[in-house]
Structure 1
Amino acid sequence: MLRALLDPATGPLLLAGAPNALAARVVEEQGFQAVYVTGAGISNTFLAVPDVGLLTVSELTAHVEAIAESVSIPIVVDADTGFGNPINVRRTVRQLERAGASAIQIEDQITPKRCGHFEGKEVISADEMTAKIKAAVDARVNDDLVIIARTDARAVRGLSEACERAAQYREAGADVLFVEAPRSLEEMRYITSQVPGLHLANMVEGGLTPILSRDQLRDLNYAAVLYANSAMRASVQAMRAVLAHLNEYGDTKGVEDLMIGWNDRQALVGKDVYDELDRRYSVGEHTSGQR
């Protein structure tokens, strides 16, 4: 299903990021065809820390399992550096595939990594990353699992080497290429024109890459476009507004429009489903009169 959606001629596939199962449910509810499990978003919301490589593979896997239980659309998972060397990558891919991932993204930064739009990044050798990609490809049980190879070499080695790395990762078996943090439209055009294959663009509000429209990215031949943390950042803005009002006035009158309604909230989390299960398995219903 995901591979069919990654078609530059009809795309790019719009990927909205979710840091937890509830956000993923909203992504699906709003009609997106796939959801992106954001490592930065989980770090921010689950641990209240920046995206500097503090999230563990076990914590990530638990989030993916919860999201897979909550949505029916394909799940693209940000697996950072793969959590170690090629052998670690093999285990990471196996875990995340079992948890429900449809695609797994691995990057070529050193461990611990940093957000792609932070300063101070460093990358491992292209050969070491190539070994990780090969390990990821070998580890997948289902050949439909998509392997996304991200390179952060643009920031420290220049655009030319970043493109050379992307081409090398494609030769190693990566299905989608992700050159992180290009600085201009011209650089983005250079990437897709010089490196064959399917490409992903990352749109980070306030980051290093210009925000382009979906039509512009289609013209540049991108297969997917990522908005990893837009929903999470919007939710924090709404929380701040409601809580500031509550703290100042002692109630939430006047800011109800910033909150999901009671009935809408229960519908979003499927309360009706659990009400039906409660009725089905009610002890009194099936054992009435029995002692």
Structure 2
Amino acid sequence: MLHTHTTAAARRRGLREQLASGRLLRMPGAVNPYSARLIQDAGFDGVYLSGAVLAADLGLPDIGLTTSTEVAARAQQVTRTTDLPALVDADTGFGEPLNAARTVQLMEDAGLAGLHLEDQVNPKRCGHLDGKALVPREAMVRRVRAAVEARRDDGFLLMARTDARAVEGLKASIDRAKAYVDAGADAVFPEALADEAEFEAFRTAVDVPLLANMTEFGKGRLLSARTLEDLGYNIVIYPVTLFRLAMGAIEDGLRTIAEEGTQESLLPRMQTRSRLYEVLGYDAYSAFDGNVFDFTLPPGT
């Protein structure tokens, strides 16, 4: 049936073990719980939950309008459906250090394997937009320390994201990252690095697992998984890729229906009913209760 068969603690241990392996972990951004299962079925290493995607899904810009409880609720829906470790974008912790502390516990309870907190001020901006503003380094250090103190499961990954590269420069972003690690961060997410040389400089300077953000239409060019692994990075996320693909297909489909008056020409591009039922595991529900799956699909559906 379409639910996880592992515990949150086991998924956290698994993520830690994979990070220690030295290989690059690939984590596409889920659009919803169903897409998280598709990510698992496609053989990826983890699931990412993007704050930008959740905000857009709610019809909101990514400027800190979502709440910690909204994010935790979506996270719990996702972690219920996949055995992969899931990492969530927790923005700035949704407030002051006390809010960041509560956020950590909400995300632990939601079954996540980890989260990242960033050093922007509220209202925050997408990491690849101009005009970002940062909290002082000491304020982010307090945010990280509060998160560490609030954590109840040492396996839960606490990652610090720094947006300093676009605001204060590469050296300042590295200095901030080191301060966040000293405060207890397990890993670092350096946002909006410009090129391979900057990725390499960050890897040389910071001795904890590093995350690379390969978002489309961003500040830097898209680097391959092979390149990132050669640079020594531990996680790569594709945070908005699936959302953009899905919304592009939806817009194209709506235009087609409006112009042609039927969806007939779209059928070859659709997931079939039989594939949908396969992903949802109808047969497993039938094995559990014979009254659930007692029908035959028409041929070709």
Give 3-state SS (helix, strand or coil) of 1:198's partner.
Answer: coil
Give 3-state SS (helix, strand or coil) of 2:29's partner.
Answer: strand
Contact 1:8-1:218 within 8 A present in 2 as well = no
Q: TM-score, normalised by structure 2?
A: 0.89
* 1: CA distance, partners of 2:234 / 2:255: 41
TM-superposed CA distance for 1:89, in Å, is 0.7
Partner of 2:45: 33
Partner of 1:14: 26
Asked if residue 122 in structure 1 is aligned to residue 110 in structure 2, the reply is no
* 2: CA distance, partners of 1:163 / 1:218: 20
Partner of 2:5: none
TM-superposed CA distance for 1:200, in Å, is 0.7
Return 90-99 or 189-198, whichever deviates more: 189-198
* 2: CA distance, partners of 1:6 / 1:257: 40
Contact 1:176-1:199 within 8 A present in 2 as well = yes
1:189-211 residue CA offsets vs partner (Å, 9 max, x unmatched): 11111222211110111100221
Partner of 2:56: 44
Paired residue type of 2:171: S
Percent of residue pairs bearing the same amino acid type: 37
* 2: CA distance, partners of 1:15 / 1:103: 13
1:37-74 residue CA offsets vs partner (Å, 9 max, x unmatched): 111111111x1222111111111011011011111111
Give 3-state SS (helix, strand or coil) of 1:104's partner.
Answer: strand
Partner of 1:288: none
* 1: CA distance, partners of 2:133 / 2:282: 47
Matches within 5 A, 1:127-276: 127-276=138-287
CA 1:255–1:280: 2 relative to 1, 3 Å? closer
Q: TM-score, normalised by structure 1?
A: 0.92
* 1: CA distance, partners of 2:121 / 2:267: 45
Give 3-state SS (helix, strand or coil) of 2:265's partner.
Answer: coil
Paired residue type of 1:257: P
TM-superposed CA distance for 1:98, in Å, is 0.5
Partner of 2:295: none
* 2: CA distance, partners of 1:33 / 1:170: 24
Q: 1:4 aligns with which of 2, 9, 17?
A: 17
* 2: CA distance, partners of 1:92 / 1:249: 48
Paired residue type of 1:76: L
CA 1:218–1:7: 2 relative to 1, 3 Å? farther
TM-superposed CA distance for 1:280, in Å, is 6.8
* 2: CA distance, partners of 1:232 / 1:163: 31
Q: How many residues align?
A: 280
Contact 1:116-1:180 within 8 A present in 2 as well = yes
Contact 2:115-2:158 within 8 A present in 1 as well = yes
* 1: CA distance, partners of 2:143 / 2:260: 55
* 2: CA distance, partners of 1:209 / 1:226: 14
* 2: CA distance, partners of 1:8 / 1:189: 19
TM-superposed CA distance for 1:88, in Å, is 0.7
Contact 1:13-1:223 within 8 A present in 2 as well = yes
TM-superposed CA distance for 1:277, in Å, is 4.8
Q: 2:118 aligns with which of 107, 115, 140?
A: 107
RMSD of equivalent CA atoms: 1.7
**Runs (5+) with no aligned partner, structure 2:** 1-13, 293-301
Give 3-state SS (helix, strand or coil) of 1:233's partner.
Answer: helix
TM-superposed CA distance for 1:3, in Å, is 0.8
Partner of 2:299: none
**Runs (5+) with no aligned partner, structure 1:** 282-291
* 2: CA distance, partners of 1:58 / 1:261: 34
1:218-270 residue CA offsets vs partner (Å, 9 max, x unmatched): 12111111111111111112112222111111111122122110111122223
Contact 1:242-1:258 within 8 A present in 2 as well = no
Give 3-state SS (helix, strand or coil) of 2:44's partner.
Answer: coil
Contact 2:25-2:236 within 8 A present in 1 as well = yes
Contact 2:64-2:94 within 8 A present in 1 as well = no
Contact 2:162-2:173 within 8 A present in 1 as well = yes
Contact 1:8-1:221 within 8 A present in 2 as well = no
Paired residue type of 1:29: D
